[in-house]
C-alpha cells in the first residue's frame, strides 16, 4: 500500500470508529491485510504534522490516540466556542 492509499485507509478508519490508539489502528490494519509504509506511529505522526489527523499522548491508554476532524466538526466547534 502506498502512502496515499494508507492515508485514505487511516482517515476512513478514524471516521468510522472514532478515536483509536496506535495499537488499535495496527490491529485493524492487520485484519484487512494492510500495512503502513513506515512504522505505524511514525506514519501517523507524519499525517498529524500535515494536518490530516489529530493526535495526542494519552496516559489512560498508555500511548498515542488519533482521531479525524472533518471541516463540519471543526467549524461547529469553532461556533460553539464563540
Compute the distance between CA of residue 82 and CA of residue 61 in angstroms, rounded to an integer. Answer: 31
State the total domains in the chain.
Answer: 1
Any idea what the CATH number is for the domain that residue 64 is in? 1.10.10.10
For 19-55, write each residue's pLDDT tens digit. Answer: 999 999 999 999 999 887 889 999 999 999 999 999 9
Q: Say whether 17 sits in a helix, a strand or coil.
A: helix
Helix (H) or strand (E) holding 64: strand 63-67
This model's pTM is above 0.85: no
Buried b vs exposed e over 65-79: b needs ≥16 C-beta within 10 Å? Answer: bbebeeeeeeeeeee
For 56-70, write each residue's pLDDT tens digit. Answer: 999 998 999 999 998
Backbone angles phi, psi at 67, to 5 degrees: -150, 165
Q: Say whether 82 sits in a helix, a strand or coil.
A: coil
Domain coverage including residue 68 = 3-81
Amino acid at each position: 500500500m502506498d502512502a496515499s492509499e494508507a492515508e485514505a485507509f487511516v482517515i476512513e478508519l478514524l471516521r468510522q470508529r472514532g478515536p483509536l490508539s496506535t495499537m488499535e489502528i495496527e490491529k485493524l490494519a492487520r485484519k484487512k491485510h494492510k500495512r503502513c509504509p513506515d512504522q505505524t506511529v511514525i506514519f501517523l505522526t507524519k499525517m498529524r504534522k500535515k494536518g490530516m489527523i489529530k493526535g495526542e499522548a494519552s496516559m489512560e491508554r498508555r500511548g498515542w490516540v488519533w482521531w479525524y476532524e472533518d471541516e463540519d466538526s471543526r467549524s461547529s466547534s469553532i461556533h460553539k466556542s464563540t
